[in-house]
Structure formats: C-alpha cells, structure tokens
A and B are shown apart, each in its own frame.
Chain A
Amino acid sequence: MSHNTLLVFEVTILVLAIFLGFEVISKVPTLLHTPLMSGTNAIHGIVIVGAMIVLGVDHKDAFTWVIGFVAVVLASANVVGGFVVTDRMLEMFKKREPPQRDE
C-alpha cells in the first residue's frame, strides 16, 4: 500500500473514531463521570504499544535506548495505574444486596 493510500485509510478511521467516541458515552449518568474518566485514562494507556515499538527497533543508539525505556516505564504506569484505579472506584458499586437493619 502506498503511503498516501495508507494515510487516507488512517484519516478515515480517525474520523469514524471521533463519532464513535461521542456516541458511545452519550448517555452516561453523573455518578459514573469519574469512573468513566478514569476508564478512558486507562484506555489511552495503549500508548504502551507505541513505547514498545520505539524501544524494540533494531540498531538504536543510546539516546533511543534511554528515551524509549522511559517511555515504556511511563506508559506501563498509565496502563496499570489507570485500570487499577478504575476498578477500585467501581468495586464499590458491586454489592447490591439490601442493607441489613441491625437496630
């Protein structure tokens, strides 16, 4: 595929993703704003893939080593921290049994 064909394809999916992003969360209740923010925060942790790619190239110099390594560290923190924080927030919604009255 030529570079320009690929670019047009990429722009196409980019624009579709914009609409999808708006559409998929359009009916979120207020109480889920924070967990949703945290969840999207975890999802952009996908930058880990980019960090792995730059650190994984052959024939790299010291600069690429260091910068790529730090990028992997930061991106991993984003992924793991993002998912754990979101899960902890939502952990609190899980129990739905009626409250016991102990009085």
Chain B
Amino acid sequence: MSSNTANLLYLITIVTFILALRDLSNPASARRGVQIGAAGMMLAVVVTWIRIGTTSWWAIALGMLLGGGFGAVAARKVHMTAMPQMVALFNGVGGGAATLIALDELHRILPPPGAPKVDISLAIVLSALIGAISFAGSMVAFAKLQELIQGRPITYSGQQFVNGALFLAALGCGLALVSGVQQQWLLWVLVGLALLFGVLFVLPIGGADMPVVISLLNAFTGLAVAASGFELENNVLIVSGMLVGASGTLLTLMMGRAMNRSIANVLFSAFGQIQDGGAAAAAAGADGGSVRSASAEDVAVMLAYAHKVVFVPGYGLAVAQAQHDVRQLADLLEGKGVEVSYAIHPVAGRMPGHMNVLLAEANVPYDELHELDEANGEFPRTDVAVVVGANDVVNPDARNNQGSPIYGMPILNVDDAQAVVVLKRSMNPGFAGIENPLFYNPKTVMLFGDAKDSIDKLIADVKNL
C-alpha cells in the first residue's frame, strides 16, 4: 500500500472520529458515535498493519492480544461505580505508550550520523514529557479513586516549589535535546522527572476533584499523541490527538464551570484538606450539633402521606447499587398518588452525569430527572426531600459559610423542602471531607445504614401502610 493510499484511508478514520465526537454530544446518538469511532479505529489498525507488512507481525499480534485482552476484561468486569478509575487507567496507559514511542524513536534516529531535525526532536521531547505526566498522574488518580491511597489531599510545605523545580528541570533536559545535544540519557532523565512531577502534581488534589483532573490528563494524552504524530510524520495521530487535546480541554473547563470553580483552583488549592479548626467548628456546631435519627417506619409514613417527594441521589446510591430499589419505592409512592421526581446535581457521584447513567439503568423516566435550577425551583413546594447518599452537593455551607472550601458551589437547596430525610451510612463527612450542617438542621432526620437496605425497608414499610 502506498503512503498516499494509507493517508486517504487514515482520512476516513479521522472523519469517523469527528462524527463520533459529534454523536457523543447527544444522548440519542451517543452509542452510534462510539460504534463509528471503533470502526474508524479498526480501519486505522488494519491499514497500519498492511503498511508494515510482515515485520514482527507476531509481536504486534501478541502485544495487542495482551493489552486488548486486559482492557476488555478489566472494562467488562468492573462495576459501574468504578468506571471513573477505569477511565483514568486507560488514559494513563495511552500516555505511557506515547512516552515509549518517543524513547524508541530517539533511540532509532540518534546513533551517528543520525541527527534529528529540530521539529522532530521537539516533538519527541513534548510527547515524552506530556505522556509521562499523564501516565503518572492518571495512575495516582486511579489509586485515589480505587482507594489504594487516601483520597484526601496530601500536602507538605514547599510543594509548589518542588513541583516547579521538577518541571523546570525536565524542561531543561528537553531544551538540551532540542538544541542538539545528542544524548539518549537526557530523554530518560526527562521521563523520570516528568513521572515524578505527574505523581506530585496529582497527590495534593482531593479525591472529589479527580474527574476534572482525569479530564485534564485525558486532554494531555491527546496532546502527547499529536506530538507523536509529528515525530512519526503521521496525520491520523496529529489530527486525532489534537481533537482529543482540544475537546478534552473544553470538557475540563465545562466540568469546572459545573462546580463553579476555576481549573487553577481545582489543581492548586488542595481542596478538601482538613480545615483549620475555626471554620469547621463554626459550620458543624452552630446549630447545637444535635442530629435526629429516625426509623424506617417513621420515614415511610412521611413519604406515603406527602404530596411531593424529591429524591436526591449521590455517590452512596451508586456504591449501594440502590438505583433499582429507589425506582421501586418511587413507583410505589406514585401508586399512592405522590408526585415523585429526582434532583440531579451536575457533579453528584464521582463524575458528571454519573447519576443520570445509574437512574437510566433503572429505567427512571427522563422527564422525572430534574437538573439543578429546575429542582431548586421545586424544593419550596416539596414535602419531603430524600437525600440518598449525597453529601457535598446538598451542603448549605456552599451558600452560607465563606470559610468553607466549597463556598460558592451551586448546590441543591434541599433545606427549602418541608422535611429532609438523609440516608447515610454514618456521620462520616463526605468525599470532600467537609462537615455538613444540613444534618444538624431541625428539619432533617437521618436514616442510618446502607442506602439499599434502607430503601428496601422503606419499600416494605410503605407497602404495609
């Protein structure tokens, strides 16, 4: 196959990726988008294989079998709740691949009399640097979400300085390479520094912000892949990588906006650190600090005789896999003439859209899922708001307490409802590690226990009424 034929076929792949991105922006066509993208990917792999010919075909096949097999099994086996860390993992290995390609390319062209052109060595440096940061950062994000390491920000003094110094040192190695120093070890040192930087960069970021970080690292991997495209002079890598780099950046900004926080604030503020005594105590203890706990029977009566009930799902719902049970309870209540809807915060769960996915799985009708503004308009005429494993997204401190790290984030104003029922495992603070005065609100009753068990008890009790 000539290189022109290959490039024309690669163009088809590029078009499928653009169509895939466009289709992914709409719920009705999203699935078709993935299939189109996968078909384009398949085409690119086949074209590349034909071009390479028989050279090390068995090694390529074995590598694909190993990597693809791992990817397929891991992605199939994992629970819906663990999807975010899988995205992090698969993003990281992509960045790792870009780094390895850079190391390989430099090794191939460097032995004398080889002298890479400036743009090629620049591309090699960039893809190695960005790919390594993305790889290491994604692995830390994976470890945090998988709770292999603690989700809370890990900070020490001089952190920004150390990170800055590491990054500058890596950049120094890169500059030396670009300016013509033909030493492979420089690229190895650069990769080592970039890996360390990637780890230290993500460590101080709280677990609740990981989706934004993963999105950013996803854009990074895209950029690294585009740089690989320059070093291999391959159009499909340049365009596809840059498409991901650009759309990933925009997506990161959108996610930040949904939380009403700038990306710089997400990355550098060590959000969710244990706060200084003052602010936390003021938030928690102000209302006298008493928490009312209720039995399932009490709550069942409240629900059955309400006119309007709004469910507010959060990560606890996902962990307990309680979406089908919530749906069942909602149907039961609707059968009794109660008006039921769901209030979905844009960042409820661990990923934007997490709750929509889970409730869609339980066949909750679309029109019962209400977004932030709509839901907040309804709470004043809601009898009971049932918070199922959500915490930070209903924390009134975001409205009232300027000392709170989530101050300014738009929240669901469940405290506007006549009564609030909070289903929660225990009094432990939420993922962001912040106290929630909602639990101390006189309107609030707590129903402690696993969300699924509690909902099942409520279903039984409502039936018995």
Q: Does B75 sit at the interface, judged by CB under 8 A? A: yes
In Å, the complex CA distance between A20 and B234 comes to: 19
Q: Which residues of the other chain, A, contact B71 by a CB distance below 8 angstroms?
A: 76-82, 84
Q: Which residues of the other chain, A, contact B245 by a CB distance below 8 angstroms?
A: 18, 21
Asked if A46 and B41 make an inter-chain contact with CB atoms under 8 angstroms apart, the answer reads yes
Q: How far is the CB of B274 from chain A (nearest CB, A)?
A: 29
Residues of A with Cβ closer than 8 Å to B? 3, 6-7, 10, 13-14, 17-22, 24-58, 60, 63-65, 67-99, 101-103
Chain A interface SS verdict (over half): helix
In Å, the complex CA distance between A62 and B240 comes to: 30
Closest 5 CB pairs of A and B: A21-B246, A76-B67, A81-B71, A72-B63, A56-B52
> A42-B34, A47-B224, A55-B60 are known contacts; what are 17 more A-B pairs with Cβ within 8 Å?
A20-B246, A21-B245, A32-B30, A40-B21, A44-B244, A46-B225, A51-B97, A54-B101, A54-B104, A60-B56, A75-B93, A78-B91, A82-B87, A82-B94, A88-B76, A89-B80, A102-B331
Interface centre among A19, A21, A75 (most CB of B within 10 A): A21
Known: A20-B18, A41-B94, A77-B70. A32 touches B83 (CB 8 A): no
For the A-B complex, the count of residue pairs with Cβ-Cβ distances under 8 Å equals 384
Contact of A37 among B38, B56, B215, B232 (CB under 8 A): B215
Contact of A45 among B53, B94, B211 (CB under 8 A): B94
Asked if B34 and A86 make an inter-chain contact with CB atoms under 8 angstroms apart, the answer reads yes
Known: A39-B37, A53-B232. A77 touches B68 (CB 8 A): yes
In Å, the complex CA distance between A67 and B96 comes to: 11
Asked if A41 and B90 make an inter-chain contact with CB atoms under 8 angstroms apart, the answer reads yes
Known: A41-B218, A74-B96, A83-B37. A29 touches B230 (CB 8 A): no
Q: Which residues of the other chain, B, contact A96 by a CB distance below 8 angstroms?
A: 366
Q: How far is the CB of B258 from chain A (nearest CB, A)?
A: 6
Per-residue A-contact encoding for B79-99, CB less than 8 Å = 1, 0 else: 010011011011101101110
Asked if A53 and B363 make an inter-chain contact with CB atoms under 8 angstroms apart, the answer reads no
Asked if B34 and A90 make an inter-chain contact with CB atoms under 8 angstroms apart, the answer reads yes
Asked if B238 and A38 make an inter-chain contact with CB atoms under 8 angstroms apart, the answer reads no
- 27 contacting pairs across A/B (C-beta < 8 A): A14-B226, A30-B346, A30-B371, A33-B352, A34-B87, A34-B351, A35-B357, A37-B211, A37-B214, A37-B248, A39-B30, A41-B90, A43-B240, A44-B91, A44-B218, A45-B41, A47-B94, A48-B44, A53-B48, A73-B70, A74-B97, A74-B100, A77-B70, A80-B75, A88-B76, A89-B357, A95-B360
Known: A54-B105, A65-B59. A71 touches B25 (CB 8 A): no
Per-residue A-contact encoding for B339-379, CB less than 8 Å = 1, 0 else: 00000101000011110111011011110000100000000
Contact of B255 among A18, A33, A102 (CB under 8 A): A33
Q: In chain B between 1 and 57, which residues have their CB closer than 8 angstroms to a CB of chain A? A: 13, 17-18, 20-22, 24-27, 30-31, 33-35, 37-38, 41, 44-45, 48-49, 52-53, 55-56
